[in-house]
Amino acid sequence: MGPARGLLAWFAFGAVALGAIAVSGGVPALLPHRAVLVSAATAGVSRPPGTPLTVVAHRGASADAPENTLPAQRSARAAGAVWIENDVQPSADGVPFVLHDSTVDRTTDGTGSIRRLTSAQLKSLDAGAWFGSAFTGTRVPTLAEQLADLREHGGNLLLEIKGPHTRDEVATIIGVVRAERMSRRVLIQSFDPVALQHSYDLAPDLPLGLLRDELDADPVAVSARLHLAAYNPAGAALMARPSAIADLHRAGVAVLAWTVDSADGWRRLDAAGVDGVITNRPAALIEWIASASPSRPPR
């Protein structure tokens, strides 16, 4: 099974509600209808007819809890999201942390570049009080901590390598994924093609996704060159050229759109055939899927 087909099998598995997932040995154990789901996903590369969108919680349930924290991840999981999206950057001493901005100023009580702060300094920061007093004392998680929570409690990770990374920095991220026994539950994405190339060179078994603000002139050619399992453009850019979805599916590449928070956007992307939507409002998207298609559980 190629990386893209394997990814689509993952998405088919995600159609099972999170509460019904059994985790065994660090890898989700598929339920009895596994064969039906996987064969349906791999029979063709596009989303199988009659199956729902994959819901990806952007930085966790970031509308309900401080972004990129374990409370946000747990809130997304409680809502039924099987996929969590994050942002990973290294500390000054090389530890991968989960943080979106290049500085800690906006989402913690500290100041300065994440790359100039040691892991000890980052762990001393409050990453929750800015969002609400109920989250006071929340810490910036390391990638290892986030993966351990997913491994123990369920869920998959759409791991964004945030900004340019050296080969050694990418190797460290991959090492954490391996150490946490999460290789089969992580998809690595980035806006930076060089970071993706490093990942492919170091770990060709890990599926890759390319983030784009605008569509490339030939997304299929770009996907082939970078060995992509997923092509992940902004939702508005994708809807300006929805024919690209079918082109990518014919090439065996999944399509995830970011970051879409409105029912109208979900409806248009669903109708266009995207495989999944990255959203700040996973609970609302799951409710929308249930109301639009009551017989189809969100995935």
Supply 20's token pair.
């019904």
Distance CA 65, CA 239 (A): 29
Give the CA distances from residue 212 to residues 113, 219, 234, 294, in Å, rounded to whole numbers and listed in that order. Answer: 24, 10, 6, 32
Look up residue 200 and give its amino acid: Y
- Kindly give the pairing relationship between strand 156-161 and strand 186-190: parallel
Supply 286's token pair.
């799951």
Q: How many beta carbons lie within 10 A of that of residue 50, not counting itself?
A: 9
Distance CA 11, CA 25 (A): 20
Q: Which of 184, 185, 188 is nearest to 200 (CA)?
A: 188
Residue 116 C-alpha from the chain's centroid? 26
Which residue out of 58, 165, 198, 249 is catalytically annotated?
58
Q: Which of 129, 126, 137, 146 is nearest to 86 (CA)?
A: 146
Which residue out of 33, 100, 153, 165 is catalytically annotated?
100
Distance CA 45, CA 26 (A): 27
Supply 184's token pair.
């089969």
Catalytic: 100?
Answer: yes
Catalytic: 165?
Answer: no
Q: Which of 52, 282, 45 is nearest to 155 (CA)?
A: 282
Q: What is the DSSP string of 78-116?
A: HHT--EEEEEEEE-TTS-EEE-SSSBSTTTSS--SBGGG
Residues annotated catalytic, as ranges: 58, 100
